Structure 1
Amino acid sequence: MKARLAASVALALGIAIGGSGCAMLTYQATTEKYDPSDGVSADVGPLDVRNALIVSDDGAEGNLVMSITNTGTDDETLEVQLVDAGDTFEIDVDAGETVSLGTEDEEPLLIEDLDAEVGGLVEVYLQAGSAEGVEITVPVLDGRLPEYEDLVP
């Protein structure tokens, strides 16, 4: 009787583990953070920078497009510096607010001396307050895609 009960428990346990596809042992790719669009993202202290990209017609000047969310309780200033060009921009973001740059509804953050290749990448350094700065590689896109054609400077 005990042997039959033990065999039934072992069989049920085997079916449960086999039927789970070893999910309890397998790496879960859905837990990885990724950028679901063409731009790149970064966290700089309490500021969350999302979908940063540059839209340019010829690579000479560009429109920096991104959104910045301040998850903190204090107002913050994000410093954005193009590493090769040396241009620096400051963007104020109030506590708990989101600022969108370069969209159809917002003024573009125009980079006049971009000197980048369309389809290439530009190194951008982000700094907020005393938080450690972050360097990101931002793609330079043109207006061939319909979602970017109105964003070309």
Structure 2
Amino acid sequence: MTVRTRAARAAASALIASALLVGTAGCAFITPTATLNQYDPSDGIGASVGDVKVRNVLAISNDDNSAVSLMVTIINTTSSSGSLRLQYESADGERIDISKPLSSNEVKSYGTEVDGDTIIITDAGVMAGQLLPIYFQYGNASGTELLVPVIAGDNAIYSDLAPASALGE
């Protein structure tokens, strides 16, 4: 009888250990890996327009909200040159186009360095905390509209990248 009791205890222990193992580690088998999810790790947002990648798009407003400086990195992964078209609507409803040339296999940044190339928008009528709709289009690829976050230029991280105030401060 002792042999049967020991076998029953060993079987019960193995069953409990198996249930505990599956219960604590089983989620890893059915949950998708989070590192495979694409996301924007910074304050800006991004998208792909055909083979051109638009990354970390962010608008930085000046003190009086009269202008924003667009921060964006554009990656042309194609072997051909072209122009990336940006389009936004001004405060009075007019559609404004901005065209930026891209060479083949080029990475181009705007508004990311104090003395670097910039894209300044003075007529969008947006304030810090709002979203600025900008449509991006390249070549024959279908374009995409991004709702670009507008951040105040008094933020310590972005203060050097904000456009000058129209009030001359």
TM-score (norm 2): 0.76
Which amino acid letter does the alignment assign opposite residue 109 of structure 2? S
Q: How many residues align?
A: 146
State the distance in 1 between where 2:86 and 2:18 align. 56
The alignment partner of 2:95 has SS state of coil
The alignment partner of 2:30 has SS state of coil
Alignment match of 1:46 (pick from 47, 51, 67) = 51
The alignment partner of 2:124 has SS state of coil
Q: Is the 8 A contact 2:109 2:117 kept in 1?
A: no
Q: When you count helix as a share of all residues, which structure comes out higher? A: 2
Moved over 6 A (4+): 10-16
| 1:99 aligned partner | 108
Q: What do the CA deviations read for 1:17-47 (whole angstroms, capped 9, x no partner)?
A: 4563431211332221111111110100111
State the distance in 2 between where 1:101 and 1:26 align. 39
Q: What do the CA deviations read for 1:2-21 (whole angstroms, capped 9, x no partner)?
A: xx9xx8xx969767645634
State the distance in 2 between where 1:13 and 1:105 align. 63
After TM superposition, give the deviation of residue 56 of structure 1 in Å.
1.1
| 2:167 aligned partner | none
Unpaired stretches in structure 2, ≥5 consecutive residues? 1-6, 164-169
Q: Is the 8 A contact 1:70 1:76 kept in 2?
A: no
Q: Is the deviation greater in 15-24 or in 100-109?
A: 15-24
State the distance in 1 between where 2:161 and 2:48 align. 24
**Alignment RMSD:** 2.2
Q: What do the CA deviations read for 1:27-76 (whole angstroms, capped 9, x no partner)?
A: 33222111111111010011110010111113221111100001111113
Q: Once the two structures are aligned, what percentage of the paired residues are identical?
A: 38
Alignment match of 2:33 (pick from 12, 15, 28) = 28
After TM superposition, give the deviation of residue 77 of structure 1 in Å.
1.1
Unpaired stretches in structure 1, ≥5 consecutive residues? none
